[in-house]
Each structure stands twice: as structure tokens, then as C-alpha cells.
Structure 1
Amino acid sequence: MNITEFQKWVGDFYQERGWTEYGPFIRVGFLMEEAGELARAVRTIEIGRDRPDEGEKLAGEARQELVEELGDVLGNLILLANQYEVPFEEILEAHREKLQKRYQLHR
């Protein structure tokens, strides 16, 4: 699945559940919540949680959690882009152009 197809799928999936009714300010809050969960997943992999009430995660479990949290962050970014009618491909291209210009890269 390419990014354009995925952007549409995410929008349709969330809309079917009524989750696209939240405005951008609320969506950014959800994004920050998911970013925190992503940070926790990275911490688990990199330095562990060191909590007696949580068992140690196996490497595969920790990686799966990381993948899922990256997806949750991406989903919320896509929903924000959809709210402003910005195709994700435009975001990717603009970001690449900005970095190439800033750092004089021509790849």
C-alpha cells in the first residue's frame, strides 16, 4: 500500500467510527498522547522500564509495541493532514525539498 492509499484508508476508517469529528486542537492532543506512548516504547527498548509491577518485555514484544505506536502517531498526523486537505505526498516532498535546500543536498 502506498502512502496515498494509506492516507485515504486511515481517513475512511476513522470516519466510519466518528473519530474524525474532533477538531485540530483535540487531534493534536491525541497526537501528543500517542507521541508519549511512542517515547515509552523507545525507552523500553533502549533502557528498560525498571518497574517491579511490569514484567520485562521480550525483544519481539517491545518491537511490536514500537511498530504499533509509530502507526498511531502516523495515523494522527494523517488525520491532521486530512483536516487541512494536505496530501501526505505533498508533505513528504516539501520536507525533502526543505532539507535539501537547507543542507545543499542534491539526492
Structure 2
Amino acid sequence: MEINEVQKWIKSYYGQRGWTDYGPFIRVGFLMEETGEVARAVRSYEIGRDRPDESTPPPEQLKNDLIEEIGDVLGNIALLADLYGITLEEAFTAHKEKLVKRFNS
């Protein structure tokens, strides 16, 4: 699936559930929450949680958890971009151009 198709699908799917009704400040709050969950998933994957009251899931489950959390971040990024009429392709292109200009000159 192309990145702009992903963005359209996210907007449609989230929209059916009323999840696109939130403004940018609330959306950024959701993004920060999901980013924290990515951090927790990375920690669990890399060094574990070191808690006697939790068992360590197998590596496959840890990786699946990380994949899901990264997907949640991407969903929130897509919706935030959409609020401002920005496509993910535009964002990635601008990011690439900035890095090439900054580090390849």
C-alpha cells in the first residue's frame, strides 16, 4: 500500500469511529501517549522490564507489540498531518530534502 493510501485508509477507518473529531491538541496528546508506549515496547524488547510480578513474553510477542505500537504512532501522525492538509508523502519528501541538503553539501 502506498503511503498516501495508508493515510486515506486511516482517516476513513478512524472517521467511522468518530476518532477524527478531535482537534490538534488532543491528537498530539494521543501521539505522545502512543510514543510512550513505543518506548515501553522498545525497552521490553531490548532489556526487559525486570519486574518479578510480570513474566517475559517470547521475542516474537515483544516484536509484535512493538509493531503494533509503531502502527499506533503512524496512525496518529497521519491524522495530525491530515488536520493541516499535509500528506505523508509531502512530509517524507520535505524530510528527505532537508537531510540531503544539510548533510550532503
User: TM-score band (shorter)?
Assistant: over 0.9
Report the TM-score, using the length of structure 2 for normalisation. 0.97
1:28 equivalent in structure 2: 28
Q: Which consecutive residues of structure 1, in runs of 5 or more, have no partner in the other structure? A: none
Task: Tell me the amino acid that sits aligned with residue 7 of structure 1.
Answer: Q
Q: How far, CA to CA, are the matches of 2:29 and 2:11 in structure 1?
A: 18
Report the TM-score, using the length of structure 1 for normalisation. 0.96
Count of matched residue positions in the alignment of Structure 1 and Structure 2: 105
Q: Which consecutive residues of structure 2, in runs of 5 or more, have no partner in the other structure? A: none
Task: Tell me the amino acid that sits aligned with residue 100 of structure 2.
Answer: Q
1:94 equivalent in structure 2: 94
Q: How far, CA to CA, are the matches of 1:15 and 1:53 in structure 2?
A: 38
Q: How far, CA to CA, are the matches of 2:75 and 2:4 in structure 1?
A: 13
Q: How far, CA to CA, are the matches of 2:26 and 2:71 in structure 1?
A: 18
Q: How far, CA to CA, are the matches of 2:82 and 2:101 in structure 1?
A: 26
Q: Which residues of 2 match residues 1-107 of structure 1 at below 5 A?
A: 1-104=1-104
RMSD: 0.8
Task: Tell me the amino acid that sits aligned with residue 69 of structure 2.
Answer: E
Shift of 1:57: 1.0
Q: How far, CA to CA, are the matches of 1:52 and 1:5 in structure 2?
A: 44
Q: How far, CA to CA, are the matches of 2:94 and 2:74 in structure 1?
A: 17
What secondary structure is seen at the aligned counterpart in 2 of 1:22? coil
Q: How far, CA to CA, are the matches of 1:74 and 1:65 in structure 2?
A: 14
What secondary structure is seen at the aligned counterpart in 2 of 1:19? coil
